[in-house]
Chain A
Amino acid sequence: LKVKIHVLQRLVGIFLALANFHAYALDFQIPIAIDISSFGTIFSNRASSRSKNTESITYGGVPRASILLTLSEEQISMPSSGSVIYMQSEALPQHAQFTFPLGNAIATLHTENFISVIAGLDSASSSMVREASRNPGSQSTLIVKGTELPAREGSGIFEPQTVLLALYDSKSMLWVNPMMLSSWINDRINPIILSVRLSKKGANKDAYIEFSPVRDGRELNLSFLQGTYEIFVDAYDRILPGGPTFSAPFRFTVLVDGENSADNSFLGGKSTEKGLAFLGNPPPSSSAITRDGFYKIAEISFLRGVHNLQIVVSDYAGNQSVLRSKCIVR
């Protein structure tokens, strides 16, 4: 019964999240891609990556507030109509002059004060905006949904036919997860939990309990001292069936003795004075992730006794993986 209630809670949560987006009435369509690196995945210029690959990256390896799309075509369709508010062009010559890492990028203001950012475009995109903006009397540069922006060559940090797409809600000061608007995704594969780490709050960061799922699905037995523990999860998801990309999962839930103790997702990233806040963690975004790619998903207080701990990791389609363990708290 508890499992059924939990599933129901989860479905209601996802429904409310989707309803929240639709309430904005933003007509925003994610272009069809052959590969996606989802919101919250450690920032990379390549779609085919996963957290473990970033072990050597100490600066800049943070959860992304955007998605990365590998396009099947040499251009990207503008997801929604709006007014271009910012056009970034690569400096020339690129090797001798500083050029901004997002390369040729365009920021567009949409209805309800949403702002989209598309980066990794060809220089021809600049020319398109330039032509439109040079029209006599033009105060703004309108761009309509479906306009094809060239992305054949790649620019900035991006490989050819790879673009970054981000969506910002100015009203809520939230970078919203564009994956929630990708109606064409048909994900049937469960996310994979690689490892879970319990680290006692305030204790040495290098002293932690780490455990992984066992193959036959048996429950794990853990024993540790009572106190408040930070829970970290190393998990990934494949968004597209058969696709090479390892992405961040969407949702992390922690149940202690069947009770929902923490429920955090990559629904968005809160924009604050100190940076970005993910998964209920304080800003900056680096606080949501360890250097070896574990997401910090919760802080749970364990009292003495025997407790059942469940870590549930879900993807956008509701597929989930569960790691169960019996905790003997001394």
Chain B
Amino acid sequence: MKKRTFVLLVAIALLYSLFSIRDSRGYKHEFKSTFISFSQAIPLHELLISSENLLPFAGSNQFGYIDTHMKRMYTERYTERVALDDDGWLLYNAFADNLQYYARVGGSIKIQAFAYPWFKESWKILMRADQMGVARCDEKGTILWEIETSMPITAIDASREILALGMLDGSVKILDLNGKQLKVSSALKNQQQTIYGIAISQDSKYFALIKGISPQKLDIFQRSENNYFRVDSRQLENSSVFQTSMSFSKDGSHLIAARDNQVIYYNRKGKFCTSLSLSPPRIKDAATNTDFQYQVICAVGNDIIAVLRTLNYDIKDTCILLLRNGKVWREAPSALNVVSDDRSFAMIYADGIELMEGN
């Protein structure tokens, strides 16, 4: 009996030590961190066409590519706005009437469009200035196809193969790379419920949306051939009329949604949903009126989602929260942006980038 108890205790101790070690392992143990200052950056025009292992990024006044293998950064200054991916970058102005695309292999083209660019995965999307349509461009900046929506687009996300759009009236369009629309189960028909946010999993197997206001629900859809069927629906604790940014983790196990001062966690496997109580930022001056906002940036690694926190809508007072399975894994004060690929990710600061690579 004593022997059995002893074995049991040893087993518990072993398990505890294993998990406690995992929990206490900081990001520096899991990821190798390298800071590259913008003062060390190489001009973007010196980037070789043949370069590989590039991570595109946009900072507050510089954009470019991080050579994750050589630990170098190629940058260019910009004053207005930029969208970029592996193929090239698109500089545009706030008025949406001056779009110039630069292919990384060389050459540039003025895109004759009145739109804002949205780049993700393999998608180069132009969202019409009235938010009532999108067009897909190829790597040369040529428009391949376009669709018009009958209502303003309020939510957008994409995986490698699928583009998901949500509209003000509750309609949803799920499109493949050719602009062909995939079917979504009848759960969405005949409902005048605004889509506040949409997210699609990296493997395109699931998509999620937040819709309606009273009640407000998070619906999860699963793909079966060319159809998506609703597999779960959760009523949110707190409704909000604010547009919502959302992302699945790369492993598809969970998603994070953020709007205004709320962050929502949904566990797909456990099928539960909860509002996260993230610690409010430290206030330098307690007398100052504080109002903080959260915005989902992107999925990082397998199970981490990066969230930007701003204080009083001030871009000088930002913090990136890296949430691992819904828990704060790391805070990066003053970070503005996060970019990631399959192997690494980088946090963008005003003075440089912190490249994080898995050990």
Residues of A within 8 A of B (CB): 43-46, 54, 56-62, 64-66, 84-89, 91-102, 105, 107, 113, 115, 117, 123, 126-127, 129-130, 133, 139-141, 156-157, 159, 164, 168, 170, 173, 271-276, 283-286
Contact = CB atoms under 8 A, between A and B. Distances in A.
Interface stretch (B5-13, B36-44, B89-97): B89-97
A286 B130 contact: no
Contact of B295 (A56, A91, A115, A276): A91
B291 A127 contact: yes
Given A157-B95, A284-B148, A96 B58 contact: yes
Nearest to B114: A60
Contacts, number: 183
24 contacts: A57-B97, A57-B113, A58-B113, A60-B96, A60-B113, A60-B130, A62-B130, A85-B194, A87-B243, A91-B245, A91-B295, A92-B318, A96-B60, A97-B295, A100-B131, A101-B130, A101-B131, A107-B152, A129-B241, A129-B242, A133-B260, A272-B150, A276-B132, A276-B150
B244 to A, nearest CB: 10
Contacts of B143: 58-59
Given A43-B129, A283-B148, A56 B313 contact: no
A159 B94 CA distance: 9
Given A95-B78, A97-B295, A129-B241, A56 B112 contact: yes
A282 B336 CA distance: 45
Given A60-B128, A60-B133, A274 B148 contact: yes
Contact of B83 (A44, A45, A98, A101): A98
Given A100-B116, A275-B147, A276-B148, A123 B131 contact: no
Contacts of A46: 95
Nearest to A54: B114
B94 A94 contact: yes
Interface in B295-329: 295, 297, 308, 310, 313, 315, 318
B81 interface: yes
Contact of A96 (B116, B133, B168, B336): B336
B279 to A, nearest CB: 19
B126 interface: yes
Given A60-B128, A100-B127, A273-B150, A92 B112 contact: no
